[in-house]
């Protein structure tokens, strides 16, 4: 029987990280572990993948790969990151979990779709309380506000708005996406962190306003060691809660407090041309060591991280930070299956949710 453990790397347009990772795994694996690009064609349901472990860098963009990885898990292959949980996760739920774990996150509101999602009509939204209490949303968050998809990445469909008119202009462009409106953290410092294996952290200065090739800055003023320790702790907490072994977490620092801004990045940027050589070398070696250890010492399948136990315990003791969604007494209930009432005169015609505003 072949005693060499095989690691498959599933990737898309990347060209620097995957081959370099395969080389480092081969070198550090000492003949016991090798890594190579995954090869998959038309998939039969009765054949194993042939890999002991697969690192997933692209299935969030390609549903065929996501189904392939779920089947791989079902037939005994370890997959990083877990495709079942990744399929179910979203950024709004991430915020709920982060708050329960004691990590600072911005105030956030989940918004109804601006347009009808595919295969739905106004009759599909019988449970939607309408009209939306936009004044309540704005009062809760304050301006400026960031709008971003609840399940998205790569800075796509992200808007920063400074007033209600700008909010509604941006909202009109969000189509059928499920969007979040989020308090803007006016930061003095910003950091992006690699979280590897739920025990290794690389804290990187990061400028989200710069061009992609200049966002990772190695130089800057001295940083308070206590702040770095807090960032490292919060990064590891989030990765453990969510069950991600390869992730990045972003923190905006306001008044000395790191606020977690984005921490659902299970296929993070690892390109040498954007992250820089020092960061590239760190993530390359740390990821290779983590993958080798997992290939040699497989773990039992985890449905997700530790958050279900935490939230269940908090619910049991009555200490759940987010017990209920905000309720707005002025928002009328809508009976199932009945048309929504007309928007109130105080609500701009362009601003309602998917009932009257859908096109």
What pLDDT score was predicted for residue 328? 31
Cis omega (within 30 of 0) on the bond before 131? Answer: yes
User: How far lies 164's CA from each of 145, 147, 189, 295, in Å?
Assistant: 10, 12, 27, 52
User: Per residue in 155-166, pLDDT tens?
Assistant: 789 999 999 999
Rounded to whole angstroms, how far apart are CA atoms 243 and 266? 10
Q: Is residue 278's pLDDT more than 50? A: yes
Mind spelling out the 3-state secondary structure of 282-315? HHHHHHHHHHHHHHHCCCCCCCCCCHHHHHHHHH
Crossing angle (nearest 10°) for helices 91-100 and 307-317: 60
Rounded to whole angstroms, how far apart are CA atoms 285 and 304? 25
Query: Around 210, how many Cα atoms within 13 Å sit in the side-chain half-sphere?
Result: 12
Mean pLDDT lowest for which of 43-47, 70-74, 120-124, 321-325? 321-325
User: Per residue in 176-219, pLDDT tens?
Assistant: 999 999 999 999 999 999 999 999 999 999 998 888 888 997 77
Query: Around 264, how many Cα atoms within 13 Å sit in the side-chain half-sphere?
Result: 23
What pLDDT score was predicted for residue 321? 59
User: Per residue in 315-344, pLDDT tens?
Assistant: 888 876 543 333 333 332 222 233 333 332
DSSP string, 56-119: ESSTTT-HHHHHHHHHHHHTT-EEES-HHHHHH--HHHHHHHHHHTT-----EEE---SSPPTT
What is the fold, at CATH topology level, of the domain defined by 107-184+338-359? Dna Ligase; domain 1 (3.30.1490)
Token digits for 94? 């991430």
What pLDDT score was predicted for residue 287? 98
């Amino acid at each position: 029987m072949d005693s060499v453990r095989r690691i498959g790397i599933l990737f898309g347009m990347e060209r620097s990280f995957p081959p370099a990772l395969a080389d480092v795994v081969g070198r550090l694996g000492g003949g016991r572990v090798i890594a190579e690009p995954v090869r998959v064609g038309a998939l039969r349901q009765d054949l194993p993948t042939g890999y002991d472990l697969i690192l997933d860098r692209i299935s969030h963009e390609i549903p065929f790969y996501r189904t392939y990885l779920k089947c791989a898990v079902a037939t005994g292959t370890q997959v990083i990151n877990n495709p079942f949980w990744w399929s179910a996760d979203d950024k709004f739920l991430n915020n709920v979990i982060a708050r329960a774990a004691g990590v600072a996150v911005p105030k956030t509101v989940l918004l109804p779709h601006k347009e009808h999602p595919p295969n739905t009509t106004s009759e599909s939204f019988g449970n939607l309380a309408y009209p939306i209490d936009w004044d309540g949303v704005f009062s809760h968050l304050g301006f400026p506000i960031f709008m971003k998809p609840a399940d998205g990445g790569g800075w796509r469909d992200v808007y920063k708005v400074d007033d209600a008119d700008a909010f509604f202009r941006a909202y009109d462009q969000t189509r059928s996406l499920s969007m979040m409106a989020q308090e803007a953290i006016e930061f003095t410092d910003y950091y992006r962190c690699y979280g590897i294996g739920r025990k290794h952290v690389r804290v990187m200065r990061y400028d989200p306003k710069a061009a992609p090739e200049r966002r990772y800055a190695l130089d800057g003023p001295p940083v308070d060691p206590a702040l770095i320790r807090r960032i490292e702790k919060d990064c590891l907490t989030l990765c453990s809660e969510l069950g991600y072994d390869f992730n990045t977490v972003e923190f905006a620092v306001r008044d000395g407090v790191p606020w977690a801004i984005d921490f659902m990045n299970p296929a993070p940027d690892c390109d040498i041309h954007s992250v820089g050589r020092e960061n590239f070398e760190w993530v390359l070696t740390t990821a290779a060591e983590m993958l080798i250890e997992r290939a040699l010492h497989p773990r039992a399948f985890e449905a997700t991280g530790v958050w279900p136990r935490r939230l269940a315990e908090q619910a049991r003791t009555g200490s759940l930070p987010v017990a209920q969604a905000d309720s707005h007494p002025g928002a009328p209930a809508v009976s199932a299956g009945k048309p929504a009432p007309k928007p109130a005169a105080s609500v701009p015609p362009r601003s309602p949710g998917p009932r009257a505003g859908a096109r």
